[in-house]
Structure 1
Amino acid sequence: MDNTLRLISQVRHAIQRYITEALVREGVEGIVPSHGDIMVHLFQHETQTMKELAKKINKDPSTVTTLVKKLIAMGYVERVADIQDKRANPIRLTEKGKALKPIFNHITESVFRQLYQDITEEELILFRKVLIKMYENLTCQQGGLERE
């Protein structure tokens, strides 16, 4: 029996556990890996609407709303008034949120260093190609799972 899906899931969970433990070691509590995509995207693009965020990080708008509400409650992001479009709901990082950027960068580097240990560049290139192909097989073909 092929255990590929189980292995992919185990790697994903191990990465999430590694990140969560690293955040706690850095004194960052309350942030979990599912907040990471939002935070990283806001580090790169100061202000984003919920709709833009959902599209960029490939999550349902309702999921993004829930995650953002938690980040707001923790003081890492805030809503910004949009005079042009009151429905846009733009958000941005607070100073507290911006202060996490060097911590996130350090943890990201640490994750990749640990993850890629004893793996050659050629192996990584092949692995990425296979993952991309698997993703495309599920999302880009007729009957795929891709959301619009």
Structure 2
Amino acid sequence: MEDQSIDTLALEHQVCFALSVASRSVVAAYRPVLEPLGLTHPQYLVMLALWENSPLSVKDLSSLLQLDPGTLSPLIKRLEASGYVERKRKPEDERTLAIAPTERGRLLRRDAEQVPVEMVRRLGMSREELSLLHQLMSRLTAAARATR
């Protein structure tokens, strides 16, 4: 029997609210860690994707990061202006731009290796807890996408 005293529309019971607040809070916690690297959180995500899968087309990077190309293009331009990435036409298809880290961008990876370590410390959660949270968030994302 369901407890009738619980207000299912109360803000504190909304998963969407908890996720929204958590997202803003975690991104804000990253800010002082990423500032010395000259990166914003979205730029950090782009660099992570490129360090792992370079070179990538804008379309592939957009798909990997689950960002609209219109949102991604200004991020790439700022990273390019910072000297961290370069855009080149793919030799096999001149219509496609390939994004890849520059030498400076590849060197940045060494400094960025401390970001996850520092974030574990700042968030005060174990790697195991964060791994479980990641698994649950991935399941939640997949379930939400399945409803579209």
Q: Distance in 1 between the 2:43 and 2:31 partners? A: 11
1:103 aligns to what? 111
Please list every run of at least 4 consecutive aligned residues from structure 1 whose deviation after the TM superposition is greater than 4 angstroms. 119-124, 127-130
Structure 1: stretches of 5+ with no match in the other structure: none
CA RMSD of aligned residues (A): 2.3
Structure 2 counterpart of 1:139:
145
Tell me the percent identity: 21
Q: Name the structure with the higher strand share.
A: 2
Cα distance in 1, alignment partners of residues 130 and 50 from structure 2: 32
Q: Which residue of 2 aligns with 1:28?
A: 37
1:137 deviates by 2.8
Structure of greater Rg: 2
- Which of 46, 63, 79 is matched with 1:55 structurally? 63
Unpaired stretches in structure 2, ≥5 consecutive residues: 1-9
Aligned residues: 137
- Is the contact made by 2:84 and 2:102 (CA closer than 8 Å) also made in structure 1? yes
Q: Structure 1 pair 124/48, CA: closer, same or farther in 2 (3 Å)? A: closer
Taking the aligned partners of 2:19 and 2:89, their CA distance within structure 1 comes to 41
**Alignment TM-score, normalising by the size of structure 2:** 0.78
Amino acid in the other structure paired with 2:117: E
2:84 corresponds in structure 1 to 76
Supply the distance in 2 between the matched residues of 1:104 and 1:89 (Cα, whole angstroms): 25
For residues 37 and 122 of structure 1, the distance between their equivalents in structure 2, rounded to whole angstroms, comes to 21
